[in-house]
Structure 1
């Protein structure tokens, strides 16, 4: 279903949110979606996973696709070159400010951890008790796989003195989550978003996927009007709004749909593949009807 009439454009880069967008609800990359992404790469289109996940938490079935060269992680706090494992662009929270934020979060009944140096770092009091914070069972393996259990998050940050890419929070109680969102959103140096119905994500105020997409485009010499972006959540809003072709999922947030040029099918109906075939004019054996 289109929300605006737009013409096909030359697309040279596609930014793809993962959860709720490229991946199905049960976190699978379908064979047809993979086929479409591989066809893009063969035609010279950069395929760019763009996620709130930490770099180490991005599924290998995506990063192992031949020709995927970069990923956006932690909501845009890092753009990583896969061949070297090095960040070509960063936009994190200073480590001293992160310590202050941790203290603020103790006022809420919430799980919290930090993403830094391409990994998630989580205290044992949270890591060992995911049920207490409303983290659904199907998500728990992914949460644990993408985080390293440590005893003292503040001590780790003080020791390493590195920028924090993102602070992630999970809440069992929605009223508590809304209270935290209202109060933390008042802090001018922070951007507070969400990608799940029970979480909040804290980044530097200038950090978002749209900013990372713009900066990688500059590095690669690709203007925004030759970039497509697909997303569903609040943390995809800037990316979808600023791209030359912004795609929202039918299962997405209303704010993302309003910002999009086109609304595609849901993530469980291969909406990403459908949108790419429509706008990139790929030649596949069995195109989506």
Structure 2
């Protein structure tokens, strides 16, 4: 059975170490696979606003799974597709709790990311370079009172770029008590919260159902906790060499690291051979 769809994570996977750049080898491999009729999707925890520039580096991109599967974007029709969002009555108390514990929560809503104005100067992580932090900030919409601004609105995701080390364990354990949310991470200290049942595999299943593609015809690449479900689901799942041991054990194949064009090497070996 041939591969009909490639889906790849961004940070630590498709992108170079700057979190911004797709290498020429990766672009070329994806382009050649597209010429053979293979569709290409990006599967990310980011919003469309933050990752649209990256999709522009790979012009053959067809779809984007956003906010860890809470929404998707059809690039050809330029349509944002909400999939499963968190209702206000669920996300609002979580948001209050995070602020009370010195976290800097941003809200992903309708394809954009929102942050309270007074938290903007604290929006940073020791694990992210300044250039990438500035890129993220450039796509933020800062408002005076986020709770009022989005009152009664369903959202895609709550993202905490970095949780102070002294609070991280307690915050994570407290959030895990809830049976209504899904918690994951893509970077050290990062906490990403969506509605229960929402993950990248969930969104890819929805997409593949519409496209009449089975999981045996899907190739995926990932490196972090928020990739686990799709790595388990797809037959052609590749963990990056730079991924944690737990992630590498989850995938069916291991490819080279993100800085050594591991995505391209997987495509070249199993699609372009």
TM-score (normalizing by structure 1): 0.89
For residues 54 and 264 of structure 2, what CA distance do their matches in structure 1 show? 16
Q: CA deviation at 1:177?
A: 1.3
- Gapped runs of 5+ residues in structure 2? none
Contact conserved, 1:109 with 1:171, CA < 8 A, in 2?
no
Residue 98 of structure 2 corresponds to: 105
Secondary structure at the aligned position of 1:139 is classed as helix
Give CA deviations for 1:17-64 in whole Å, capped at 9, x if unaligned.
001000011121111110011111111111100000111111424246
For residues 165 and 209 of structure 2, what CA distance do their matches in structure 1 show? 40
Residue 47 of structure 2 corresponds to: 54
Residue 12 of structure 1 corresponds to: 4
Give CA deviations for 1:48-96 in whole Å, capped at 9, x if unaligned.
0000011111142424633322100100111111233323451111123
Residue 16 of structure 2 corresponds to: 24
Matched pairs, number: 271
Contact conserved, 2:127 with 2:187, CA < 8 A, in 1?
no
Instruction: Judge which range, 145-154 or 101-110, deviates more.
Output: 101-110
Q: CA deviation at 1:181?
A: 1.2
Q: CA deviation at 1:173?
A: 2.5
For residues 7 and 172 of structure 2, what CA distance do their matches in structure 1 show? 27
Of 155, 159, 162, the residue aligned with 1:171 is 162
Contact conserved, 2:65 with 2:200, CA < 8 A, in 1?
yes
Residue 65 of structure 1 corresponds to: 58
- Gapped runs of 5+ residues in structure 1? 1-8, 284-289
Secondary structure at the aligned position of 2:65 is classed as strand
Does residue 1:236 correspond to 2:211, yes or no?
Answer: no
For residues 46 and 213 of structure 2, what CA distance do their matches in structure 1 show? 24
RMSD over aligned Cα atoms: 1.7
